[in-house]
Structure 1
């Protein structure tokens, strides 16, 4: 038996836009099921919002997301989680960084670190904090 842990992001009306953005950065397939598609509409205003969505890329990247219905509490919080993308190719990691950095707030510019050949942290335009790095040969 094997399992996969997948980050599931919760939004309030921005899930479709966020997933499309992540697909533009990482590639892969975007699947979106709306509340209306699932017959679970709580109202016309939320019918087209994402009940379940996912981006799956051939390189192994995968993220899920949905729009929290208005009748449920939602708080984006601060530092509740980071989404980490670690690879072994500096060019690939730099490409992801470049894609995510549009409209982002950079906490740590992408560059060499004591523990990694390449490391950076930013919060994207959707409020998701990403840590990108190239894994060190031995740590």
Structure 2
């Protein structure tokens, strides 16, 4: 396997729902492995068999990976900019389509997609899971 870099997001028990939603929005190939699919003895915690151990969504734009957060006492808020993804599209129409699907799926547009000071286009949306999706597109000819 060649080198690659993917975004990894640990969500509080909503990874399967989020990945399925993102699959509907962006397309691609989705794989979800739950703890019950492949029991792993010796885990430092007793995982819920329905919890997501690992999931990947391979899209035309890149790879998103993730899993349900381990019960380690950390309770990080998802909503904000710590969980954010930048998706650069070929056209403004493609970015607007993705934004519309995220909003229709229960998200909200936080910064309207518009001309940016550097000449391209930019805007960001929070999906219903609290993940910020920033969209960028070079100026179209």
- Normalised by the length of structure 2, the TM-score is 0.83
In the alignment, is the contact (CA less than 8 A) between 1:106 and 1:121 conserved in 2? yes
How far is the alpha carbon of 1:75 from its aligned partner? 1.2
How far is the alpha carbon of 1:80 from its aligned partner? 1.7
Partner of residue 117 from structure 1, selected from 105, 116, 120: 120
| Distance in 1 (alpha carbons) for counterparts of 2:34 and 2:81 | 28
Q: Structure 1 pair 116/101, CA: closer, same or farther in 2 (3 Å)?
A: farther
In the alignment, is the contact (CA less than 8 A) between 2:9 and 2:83 conserved in 1? no
How far is the alpha carbon of 1:2 from its aligned partner? 5.3
Q: Which runs of 4+ in 1 moved over 4 A?
A: none
**How well do the aligned residues superpose, as a CA RMSD in angstroms?**
2.2
In the alignment, is the contact (CA less than 8 A) between 2:11 and 2:68 conserved in 1? yes
Aligned residues: 134
In the alignment, is the contact (CA less than 8 A) between 1:9 and 1:65 conserved in 2? yes
How far is the alpha carbon of 1:72 from its aligned partner? 5.0
Q: Structure 1 pair 54/72, CA: closer, same or farther in 2 (3 Å)?
A: farther
In the alignment, is the contact (CA less than 8 A) between 1:68 and 1:74 conserved in 2? no
Unaligned runs of 5+ in 1: none
- Normalised by the length of structure 1, the TM-score is 0.84
What SS does structure 2 have at the residue aligned with 1:31?
Answer: strand
| Distance in 2 (alpha carbons) for counterparts of 1:10 and 1:116 | 34
Q: Structure 1 pair 48/96, CA: closer, same or farther in 2 (3 Å)?
A: same
Q: Structure 1 pair 15/49, CA: closer, same or farther in 2 (3 Å)?
A: same
> Which moved further from structure 2: 11-20 or 103-112?
103-112
Partner of residue 97 from structure 1, selected from 96, 99, 102: 99
| Distance in 1 (alpha carbons) for counterparts of 2:53 and 2:137 | 33
Unaligned runs of 5+ in 2: none
